[in-house]
Structure formats: C-alpha cells, structure tokens
Amino acid sequence: MSYDSNNIMVILSSPSGAGKTTITKKIQQKYQSFKISVSHTTRKPRPNEVDGVDYHFVSHEKFKKYINDGKFYEYAKIFDNYYGTSKESVDESIKKSDIIFDIDWQGTQQLSKFKNLKLIKIYLIPPNKEELKERLTKRNQDSPDEVERRYKAYDKDIQHWKDYDYIIINQNLENCYKQIENIISINKNKLSIFSQTTQ
Ligand code: 5GP
C-alpha cells in the first residue's frame, strides 16, 4: 500500500462493548472526509445490521478463499469468526478520504507492519469491568453465552493497550468523542504542516 495524500488512517480498537462502533459512526457523520472501513466477516448479521454497510457478511468458505487470494491487509479470528480488511477498498478510499478502522489488536499489529501508513492508533477502554458487562448486556445484540465470552475476553484484550498511540477511557460518550476529535485535528494539522515544509 502506498499513497502520497494527506489523508490519515485512524484505528479505533477496544474490548468488545466499550462503545467504539457508536463513536466511529459519529465521526463519519460529522466529518465528510472520513470513510469507515467496512470489514468482511463470517459472523452472522445482528438484527439491525445491513450487509455492505456494517460489514460484508460472507461464508467461511468465501473468507478462506479471500485469504488464499491475498485479498486482505489484515485478518483475525475473533470469537470463532473471521474478520478482515480488504486491500482493494482501502487502497481506493485512501486516495480521496481519511479512513477509520474499527478493528481489534491483532489487525492493528498487522497494519502497523506497513511502515509507510500514517496510522493513528487509539484504544478505547470502559471505565471498569462492571460497566462493560452492563453495556454488553444492555445493547441486547448477542446471546447470553456470547456476552459472557466477550466479557471474559476483556482481560486478554486489555493487555494490548501498549500497541496504541492514545488510550481513552470511555466514561462519558461526549467527552470521549471530543478527545478523539482533538486527536484527529492535531494529527491532520501536523501532517499538513509537514507536507508544506517538505514541498
Ligand atoms: P463485532 O462482532 O462486535 O462486530 O466485532 C468483534 C471485534 O472484531 C471488534 O473488536 C471489532 O473491532 C473487530 N473487527 C471488526 N472488523 C475487523 C477487521 O476487519 N479486522 C480485525 N482484525 N478486527 C475486526
């Protein structure tokens, strides 16, 4: 992947249930310049999810074929399903937009290997574990077993905070969103100054 534009790539990761999907959507609504990277997944759609908007929902067979064809920049197995970021759509989007990725720590590690990418890596954490449990249960999108599995994954997931540039505690959605806006704005300005001074 190579590109010359001043567009940035923001990775937003968190333990499941920490609120990143809401924030990702809010950023896209406010900033016309941002495109959400729509991942491929073998997970079944939740009732409110739309194919091609929330994810590209594909079978295990298709996903494995895509892996073999080298279609992904990164992919990971999470909670028994595969999730991956398509090269083609990222390469196309970055020519004209900033991109926001809602991916996990495994995907973040893989994307970080592309040293030419202007990645801004943000890790969102819930204020405490109890709050996480409440959010996972309240959002009412997964079965009780799945909620339990996601809750249990927290301890392992949180160990990867060190791979990120910024850590934000999602105590309050609005504050959290403002912090992310500041991070985006600082990094966009930095990039713009840098490109002016190197022209
Ligand atoms: P969910 O099933 O709740 O939509 O997502 C489960 C986890 O998969 C979340 O942590 C989300 O960030 C992560 N995820 C979604 N798409 C991708 C992807 O393309 N690559 C990787 N590595 N993780 C992803």
- pLDDT per position as a tens digit, 172-198: 889 999 999 999 999 988 887 877 777
How are strands ordered across the β-sheet holding 40-41? 56-57, 40-41, 81-86, 72-78
Dihedral pair phi/psi, residue 172, rounded to 5°? -140, 125
Closest residue by Cα to atom 7, ligand 1, is 104
**Mutate which of 11, 99, 104, 161 for ligand 1 pocket (most atoms within 8 A of beta carbon):** 104
* Dist. CA 87–CA 100, nearest whole Å: 14
Does residue 16 line the site of ligand 1, with CB under 6 A? yes
* Dist. CA 116–CA 8, nearest whole Å: 11
Structure-block tokens of residue 144 = 């009780």
Dihedral pair phi/psi, residue 47, rounded to 5°? -55, -35
If you average pLDDT over every residue of the chain, what do you get? 90
Closest residue by Cα to atom 19, ligand 1, is 84
Q: What is the pLDDT of residue 25?
A: 86
Task: Tell me which residue of 165, 162, 181 sits closest to 173, measured CA to CA.
Answer: 181
Q: What is the pLDDT of residue 2?
A: 54
Residue 161 has pLDDT above 90, yes or no: yes
User: CATH topology for 9-37+97-197?
Assistant: Rossmann fold (3.40.50)
Q: What does the domain layout of the chain look like in residue ranges? A: 9-37+97-197
- pLDDT per position as a tens digit, 65-94: 999 999 999 999 998 999 999 999 999 999
E strands along the chain, which residues? Answer: 9-13, 34-36, 40-41, 56-57, 72-78, 81-86, 98-102, 119-125, 166-169
